[in-house]
Each structure stands twice: as C-alpha cells, then as structure tokens.
Structure 1
Amino acid sequence: MDWTEIIVEVDTKDIDTAGNIAQMTVPYGIYIEDYSMLEQEVLEIARIDLIDEELLQQDRTKGKVHIYISPEDNPAEAIAFLKERLEAEGITYRILSDTCDVEGCLENWKKYFHPINIGQRLLIRPVWREDYDPQGRIVLNLEPGLAFGTGTHETTRLCLEALEKYTFDGATMLDVGCGSGILSVAALLLGAKSATGIDIDELAVKSSIENAQRNGVADRYTGIHGNLTDKAQGTYDIITANIVADAIIMLSGDIE
C-alpha cells in the first residue's frame, strides 16, 4: 500500500520549529531541506568547494520539512494537526501532499543525507557512503530507514555531543524513543558497556537493531518495542530521550 508524503514549506527562520512540530505528528522519520547556509555546510561536511548548479539555484529563503504517513495512519488528521500547531506558532506555511510507495519514501531522503562530523570525535556516515574518509573519527554507519535520527536535526546533534562528553567506559545507557538507534549505537562506540533502546514504533526498533549490527555492537544492544518506559527496568548511568517535550514531561515521574 502507498504511503503519503507531506511537505511543509516555511521561511528558513522557522524551519527548526516546523521540524519539531513534524516530529510530533508521526513516529516515522522526517527530513529537512534547508539551503540557507549551503556553502558553509558543504565545506564543513564534505570539505569541498564545488557545488552542483542545481543546488545553487535552490531558494535560500524557504525550507521544506518532509513527513511520511503510513497506510495505517490518516494523512488528513496529520495535516490538520500541522496546521493547528504552525498557526499557533504564527508561522506562515504551505502544505503539499502526494503518495509514494514505501521503497520510494525510503529512497527519497537519501540524496539529502551526507556524512556529518559531530563534536570532536564522531562521524555519522550513511551506509551508502562507505567510501568516505573518516580522517580518524569514530565512524557510526547509519541506515535510518523511516526511523527518526540521522544526526542532521539539532536536537539529535546536541544529544550526540552530550554523549561524546559524558559517556565513559563501562557505562549503561537507556535510550527512550530510540528511533534509528543513533544515540544508543554512538554510546556503545564511545565505550558504554550496554545500551537499551525502547520505542513505540516497531519499525524504529527494527531499524535500531539493524544499525547496532552494522556497527558491530549488537551483542551489547537491546531493542524493545513498547510504550517507552513501561518495559524498561533497572538503573542506568545515562538516559537519553530525544523526543518531544510533552512526552518527556509525562514520563519524568517514571524515572528517578
């Protein structure tokens, strides 16, 4: 069955807020098109100064958030929610939608996902870019599929930088809302003894387990499909929750 792709176009100054709202809409992955700092980002990420003319012609004043709605979900409800939250934030927007098969949705965003240096030590590298030279960094090979978490979103980047700072050898970690497993796998690569990822989205849990396997840390990773903390037990040295604030507030009473 076909999925629905929803594209939200906003001014680039509002792209981060629109991205956060998109995260609240569905548990699947999103990707963001923002060309406002194209030259700077290309130099930082790819270390090259030759940019395709098609990219240079992109509108620098507008950004787009791409959201994918599964056949089991209602795209009309998602669009209504997006409109309500965007208008509450005073954001001017344009919404487009179309259908795509699941393979098409999985492939669409790959052209926007490139190797990314995080902090002082990490490199997030798409699995289709194994030719990319890590230059001594710790490589996290990633295939997020439709699960949230590629390192491009600001909250994911901040979590990764915090893990780089606070993860110590032998640490135990709980990742609430694990998405692609990017935070759990990063912690394990940085020296954690074990990591447990839990998510309400079965696709996300599957993706996180596969990414742990790709990075050779599957023997130290446990992926759990469940309602966030209701299946997590024990104590942990590190807990991450790269999810929306409302959910964190709701769950805070379950974590001591």
Structure 2
Amino acid sequence: TDICVKVKSGDCETAAAVANMTVPYGIYIEDYSDMESVLSASPRVDYIDEALLSMDKSFARVHIYIPADQSPNEAISFIRARLEACGISHEIETDRALESVFMNEWKKYYKPERIGKGMIICPSWESFDEKEGDTVITLDPETAFGTGKHETTRLCLELIEKSITGGERLLDMGTGSGILAIAAKKLGAGEVTAVDIEENSVKIAAENAAKNETEITVFCEDILVSDKLYETVGGEYDVISANIVSDVIIAMGDMFLNKLKSGGTLIVSGIIDSRRDEVLSALTERGFSLCEAMEDGGWVAARLRK
C-alpha cells in the first residue's frame, strides 16, 4: 500500500522523520520548493518537463510503502497522531479499498516475538510456549502504533525491562497500542498511566490492557495544551516513557522534569540517529543525566535520570 502524506514544504523534514518511524527501509519525498533556485543556477533548463515546472512548490509529499505483512492503518494512525502533536497541517492519501484488504492480510505475518531478556509479544490469535520467567504480552495493535516489531518500540521495551523492579509509578506518553504501559505493568510496575492524543489509540490501548488483565489508566488529550490533563495525571512518577518524535520529546522536556520524582527515570525513543545529539543535549540542559543510549536500525532510545 502506498501512503502519501502532503504537508507544507517547511514541514517536510519533520513529516519525513515521522513517516520514517513506520518503515525500516526508507521513504520517497517529492519537494520542489527549491526548484527555482536550482534552475537559476543551471545553464540549461530545456530538459525540464513542463508538468514538473508547474508543480505546486508550497507543498511537499512524503511517500511510504507498507508491505503485506504490516497494517497500513497502523501507520496512518501513527502518522496522523504525531503530525497533529507537532501542530503540522497535513493530508494523507491512500487507496482505501486496499486498506480494507490489508487490514486482515497482515495478520498472517504477525507472529510471537521475544524481546529483551524475557518479554514475549504475542497476538491474540497465536499461541506461544512460554518458559519459566517469561512475561507474555497479548497485543492486537489494530490501527494503533506499537506491535513490538519496530526498532523504536523494541528499544523502549528493553529499557523498561531494565527500569522496572516492582511497584514503580509509570507515565507512558504517546501510548499507541498500549504496549509499553502494559509491559511495565506485567513486569511489576504499580500505578500506570497512559496518554495519547489519538482517540482510537486510547480505545485500543484500553482493550489490550483488558486482554492482558492489567489495570492502566488511559487519557486522550494533549498534555502540552490541556491544563486539566496536566493536573489530573499528577506527578512524582518513578518512570516516564515516551516513544514519540524528536520535536515532541524536546517540547515535553519541562513536563518530563516536573512529572518525575528526584532520581526518577526518563525513557525516550523515536529519535532518528541524525538528531541524537540535539535531543539528548536538550534533555541534559534541563538537568537530566544520561544513563545509556541504544541504537538499532538508525533509531536511538535513551535512559536518563533526573
């Protein structure tokens, strides 16, 4: 399935970073905003197709291709939610007829997967022979981001596994399918609160929590603009997890600092490797200390301490 995300040219870089989180093999970008400057520097322009010259240069398009073993709806939901969180106006174009076919087709390829030392992510329609000490998380992402197969999610899960020893209060920002919040709860966390700005993600996270017989509190709002939610979620958390995009991580820096208890742990992911230093510097400048950073497939996750 080809998914095309149309944004203003000035927002293309951020949109591309968001889209790239949904696929491990690259994206295709149409951006003609600098065409005039390029052509003015060229001695010959007669080889340029007229249709290309007439393209609207105020907008860019980011294309991603979703293969049969993945749900296009998950990618669409994730992209839409993250662009809205960044305040980026956008249009998403795709073949709706194909979406309905792939919605069920991808399930053939979604198999149980072992992550970290003892976590198993298993869809409800599959069975798994667990070993003693395994933590099995039953997960049906449907149209929410977070199957455990993307590098950003796997890295976050590994860091959560290292951070939960029992009884911790955890806040999960951008919960998606609820995978991180549910994993934390099953690993022994105490009170777990999850937040997402996408209504469907919140619904799916709650459903997945019920399937795992875990109790998490889920909210659907933007904590950066909702004073009510900011107050409602409280503070003094032992752990905050956020698998989101770099710009939102930076924007949430002060919120992370205010919501974590002294000595608390911040886990962030969704950072493309080219922005590693920028994001980590923004957090350390606010008073966090870096404990460790992990990389996989061009993505970075980090564990920091307040």
TM-score using structure 2 length = 0.55
Correspondence 1:188-203 to 2 at 5 A: 188-203=185-200
Describe the shift of the 1:31–1:169 C-alpha distance in structure 2 as closer, same or farther (beyond 3 A): same
Residue aligning to 1:151: 148
CA–CA separation in structure 2 for the residues paired with 1:245 and 1:205: 22
Shift of 1:223: 0.5
Distance 1:223 1:22, change over 3 A: same
Distance in 2 (alpha carbons) for counterparts of 1:211 and 1:128: 13
Alpha-carbon shift at residue 227 of structure 1 (Å): 0.5
Give the whole-Å Cα distance in 2 for the aligned partners of 1:176 and 1:147: 14
Counterpart of 2:214 (choices 210, 214, 217) is 217
Change (3 A) 1:20 1:107: farther
Structure 1, unpaired ranges of 5+ = 9-17, 25-29, 35-62, 80-96
- Does the 8 Å CA contact 1:33/1:112 hold for their aligned counterparts? no
Whole-Å Cα distance in 2 between the matches of residues 180 and 151 of structure 1?
Answer: 10
User: In the TM superposition, what is the alpha-carbon distance from 1:252 to its structure 2 partner?
Assistant: 1.1
User: Number of matched residues?
Assistant: 189
Alpha-carbon distance in structure 1 between the residues aligned to 2:199 and 2:20? 16
Report SS of the residue matched to 1:192: coil
Q: How many Å apart are 1:135 and its aligned residue?
A: 2.7
- Deviation of 1:110 after TM superposition, in Å, equals 1.5
C-alpha separation in 1, matches of 2:96 and 2:2: 6
Offset of residue 78 of structure 1: 3.4
Contact 2:4–2:92, Cα closer than 8 Å, also in 1 = no
- Of the two, which has the highest radius of gyration? 2
Note the C-alpha offset of 1:101.
7.7
2:241 is matched with 240
C-alpha offsets along residues 77-107 of structure 1, whole Å, 9 cap, x if unaligned? 336xxxxxxxxxxxxxxxxx41138754532
The answer to whether the 8 Å contact 1:19/1:32 transfers is no
Alpha-carbon spacing, 1:107–1:164, altered in 2? closer, same or farther (3 Å): same
- Structure 1 position 201, deviation (Å): 0.4
- Report the CA distance shift for 1:211/1:64 in structure 2 as closer, same or farther (over 3 A): same
The match for 1:78 is 92
Query: In the alignment, what sits opposite 1:134?
Result: 130
Residues 1:252 and 2:253 are matched in the alignment: yes
Q: CA deviation at 1:7?
A: 7.6
Matching residue of 2:203: 206
User: Are 2:167 and 1:166 equivalent residues in the alignment?
Assistant: no
What SS is found at the alignment partner of 1:78? Answer: strand
Counterpart residue identity of residue 92, structure 2: A
- In the TM superposition, what is the alpha-carbon distance from 1:122 to its structure 2 partner? 0.3
SS in 2 for 1:204: helix
Deviation track 1:87-144 (CA, whole Å, cap 9, x = no partner) reads xxxxxxxxxx411387545324312321110011100001110x22123321000011
Distance 1:113 1:22 in 2: 21
Q: Which residue of 2 aligns with 1:185?
A: 182
* Deviation digits for residues 190-220 of structure 1 (CA, Å, limit 9, x no counterpart): 00011100000011011111111111112xx
- In the TM superposition, residue 168 of structure 1 has moved relative to its aligned partner by 1.7
| 8 Å contact kept, 1:33–1:64 | no
Distance 1:5-1:205 versus aligned 2 partners, 3 A rule: farther
> Is the CA contact 1:140–1:186 (under 8 Å) kept in the aligned structure 2?
yes
Equivalent-residue separation in structure 2 for 1:242 and 1:125 (angstroms): 20
The 1:244/1:156 distance shift into structure 2, 3 A limit, reads: same
Distance in 1 (alpha carbons) for counterparts of 2:174 and 2:240: 11
The CA distance in 1 between the partners of 2:121 and 2:164, in whole Å, is 17
> What is the root-mean-square deviation in Å for CA atoms of aligned residues?
3.2
Q: Any unmatched runs of 5+ in structure 2?
A: 6-14, 27-63, 81-89, 258-306
Output the CA distance in 1 between the equivalents of 2:102 and 2:222: 26
